[in-house]
């Protein structure tokens, strides 16, 4: 099975007609969405229930782990220990977990999360506190996939039952990892597409990296490259989820629609779609 998602349900003008129904419009086109807001703050249970109510029963979410859980932010005095952070996060997502509306939780680690014993132990800590829930891991430090460490990293992800997030991104010196097309989980492979804007990803002389890093429009021949990768991953996992994160210029939705046509896949049980959209 192949599924396609975008990061967030806002700012995708191609598939949206009603600003008050952005999530409903999104869910009429794609079966999964990456939930970015949970990186910046743990969502309220009210919001979680609202998102569930606005989407079909088959629709799933791919929430980002809260920034303290991925060590992006220092420990906050609101919590007495890291265990409490995980507990609060999972409690908030309880309704989605109970209703099987989670595709996987995305742990995207920062560039300084390198391949050291301390961080290997932290990955084990994450697994123990995420219980048996599906987790996908994205690294931003090349040391995990060095010639020395690559096979050991993949074996560790398999052991912990984490899905390796395969990324497409410019190969900059300090915050990129190579595209290692290897699945580490028989249930789910993840391909996350950041675009190929080298200067934006590098960050030098960039005024607003959020606006420029993912500013990229994939060409059809580049999307064909992903078709081959997806076909390869489909032999290793029951599902391949492709996430487009190249939306600084609003290109993600169109790229996703083009890839869907190239793959000749359709998505069942979506929400009702406005007839005048295309």
> Which tokens is 38 given?
């949970």
What would the pLDDT profile of 185-214 be if each residue is shown by its tens digit?
999 999 999 988 867 667 666 666 666 677
Q: Report pLDDT for 222.
A: 94
Please, are residues 26 and 59 in contact by the beta-carbon 8 Å criterion? no
Q: How far apart are CA 273 and CA 257, in angstroms?
A: 15
Q: Report pLDDT for 275.
A: 47
Please, are residues 153 and 147 in contact by the beta-carbon 8 Å criterion? no
Q: How far apart are CA 147 and CA 143, in angstroms?
A: 9
What would the pLDDT profile of 51-66 be if each residue is shown by its tens digit?
999 999 999 999 999 9
Transcribe the chain into DSSP letters: -EEEEEESSSS-GGG-S-GGGHHHHHHTT-SEEEE-HHHHSPPPHHHHHHHHHTS-TT-EEEEBPPTTTTTSSPPPTT-SSHHHHHHHHHHHTHHHHHTT-BS-EEEE--TT--SSHHHHHHHHHHHHHSTTS-EEEE---GGGGSTTTHHHHHHHHHHTTEEEEEEE----TTT----------SSEEEEEE----HHHHH-TT-S-HHHHTT-----HHHHHHHHHHHHHHHTT-SEEEEEE--TTTT-HHHHHHHHHHHHT---SSPPP--TT--
Transcribe 101-164 into DSSP letters: -BS-EEEE--TT--SSHHHHHHHHHHHHHSTTS-EEEE---GGGGSTTTHHHHHHHHHHTTEEE
Q: Report pLDDT for 86.
A: 95
Per-residue pLDDT of the chain (278 residues; tens, 9 = 90+): 999 999 999 888 888 776 778 999 899 999 999 999 999 999 999 999 999 999 999 999 999 999 999 999 877 777 778 999 999 999 999 999 999 999 999 999 999 999 999 999 999 999 999 999 999 999 999 999 999 999 999 999 999 999 999 999 988 877 789 999 999 999 999 999 998 886 766 766 666 666 667 788 999 999 999 999 999 999 999 999 999 999 888 899 999 999 999 999 888 767 666 544 44
CA distances from 181 to 150, 157, 228, 234 (A): 12, 14, 11, 11
Q: Report pLDDT for 213.
A: 73
CA distances from 203 to 36, 93, 135, 175, 196 (A): 21, 34, 29, 10, 13
Q: How far apart are CA 34 and CA 243, in angstroms?
A: 7
Residue ranges of domains in the chain: 4-263
Question: Is beta strand 188-193 parallel, antiparallel or unpaired with respect to 239-244?
Answer: parallel
What would the pLDDT profile of 130-164 be if each residue is shown by its tens digit?
999 999 999 999 999 999 999 999 999 999 999 99
Q: Which fold has domain 4-263?
A: TIM Barrel (3.20.20)
């Amino acid at each position: 099975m192949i599924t396609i998602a975008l990061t967030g349900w806002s700012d995708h003008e191609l598939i949206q007609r009603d600003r008050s129904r952005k999530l409903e419009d999104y869910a009429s086109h794609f079966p999964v969405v990456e939930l970015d807001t949970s990186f910046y703050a743990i969502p309220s249970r009210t919001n979680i229930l609202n998102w569930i109510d606005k989407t079909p029963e088959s629709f799933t979410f791919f929430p980002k782990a809260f920034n303290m859980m991925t060590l992006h932010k220092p420990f906050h005095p609101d919590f007495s220990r890291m265990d409490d952070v995980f507990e609060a996060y999972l409690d908030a997502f309880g309704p989605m977990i109970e209703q099987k509306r989670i595709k996987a939780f995305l742990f995207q680690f920062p560039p300084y999360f390198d391949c050291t014993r301390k961080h290997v132990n932290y990955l084990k800590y994450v697994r123990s506190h995420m219980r048996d829930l599906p987790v996908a891991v994205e690294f931003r430090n090349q040391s995990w996939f060095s010639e020395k460490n690559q096979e050991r990293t993949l074996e560790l992800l398999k052991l912990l039952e984490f899905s390796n997030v395969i990324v497409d991104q410019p190969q900059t010196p300090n915050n990129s990892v190579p595209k290692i097309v290897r699945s580490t989980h028989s249930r789910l492979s993840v391909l996350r597409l950041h675009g190929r804007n080298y200067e934006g990803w590098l960050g030098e002389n960039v005024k607003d990296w959020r606006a420029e890093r993912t500013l990229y429009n994939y060409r059809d021949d580049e999307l064909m490259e992903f078709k081959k990768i997806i076909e390869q991953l489909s032999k290793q996992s029951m599902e391949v989820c492709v996430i487009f994160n190249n939306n600084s210029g609003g290109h993600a939705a169109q790229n996703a629609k083009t890839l869907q046509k190239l793959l000749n896949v359709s998505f069942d049980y979506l929400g009702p779609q406005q007839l005048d959209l295309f």
